[in-house]
Amino acid sequence: MSHPQRSNAVTLGDLSNLRGLTLSLRKASIILAVALTVIAMGQDPSSAKRNMIGIGEGEGDRNSLMFETAKGAKIVKVTTRLIVNKVSHKGLNFFALQVNFPNKTWAHGGPQFNKDANRMVHLANWGGLVDRGGGATDYDKADPKKDMALIECGIDKPNTAPWEWKLGCEYILTVERGQEVQLPAGGGHGPEHNIRLGKRKMWEWKFSVVPVDPAKGEPFTSLLYDTADHVDWFCVWNESGYGSVGAEQHARWSVPEYWVEGDDKPKVPSKWTRE
């Protein structure tokens, strides 16, 4: 008995099978892409530095992103990107890049949307203190004369100043070391300008918030002095309070890039965690 020869023509059944296989492959590729993105976002920031990590509504109750950098790195510049999607219309809204210095001082900066009397106002901040335990303790136990021997804020404007910024706009936040300066004896800067200080050498630490699209507004820039010549740690966070809560806010942050002394190429943290 002879067997019928298989036709080379493509049947409707073949096309149906082919479409099914194509759809399966597409689904598999999408699932793989999502899985790789999730892994990259949590474990390998170098692959995900163009992605944004959410803090606030729908992201859990942790409001900070901590980053691990090369051991002993003398960091002289840090930059990250920020998009604020939602704010509370009461109390405090602060979205900040924070840097810590090896002399036990810290500084933080970023946009704010805060209640002032009976209205909400747009602001930006760049300032810091000596670490005396963290949180409110650093403010409660501040010793201006001793502190200003290490960190001096409010150089060119108040720590917190009016600055118009927009929801949904992408901004680049940067902390960068400037020059070492010789400051003369006399009064300090900022609200404690009546405190008399001797001659001292300090480093400029510049902060900026720049819209990615120049049409979205003017940059914010500010300056402080610190005796430290490098940063040894950084993080980003959302802050609420005075009537607002974190679930009323939402912001997206990029994994920061940082530069170390003597190297023009940016580095990316080896991992990040929520805290």
pLDDT tens string 37-86: 333 334 444 434 458 999 999 999 999 999 999 999 999 999 999 999 99
Instruction: Tell me the percentage of the chain whose pLDDT exceeds 90.
Output: 73
Q: In the predicted model, what is the mean pLDDT of residues 115-120?
A: 93
The two three-digit tokens of residue 200, written as one number: 């001292």
Q: How many residues does the chain have?
A: 275
Given this model, what pLDDT does residue 194 score?
77
CB-based contacts of 196, cutoff 8 Å, min separation 6: 185, 186, 187
Give yes or no for residue 140 having a pLDDT over 60: yes
Domain ranges of the chain: 9-43, 51-274
Q: Do 58 and 252 meet the contact criterion of CB atoms below 8 Å apart?
A: no
pTM, rounded to two decimals: 0.81
pLDDT tens string 146-205: 999 999 999 989 999 999 999 999 999 999 999 999 998 887 776 666 788 899 999 999
- In CATH terms, 51-274 corresponds, of 2.60.40, 1.10.3470, 2.60.120, 4.10.280, to 2.60.120
SS3 state of residue 166: coil
Given this model, what pLDDT does residue 41 score?
38
Q: In the predicted model, what is the mean pLDDT of residues 104-129?
A: 97
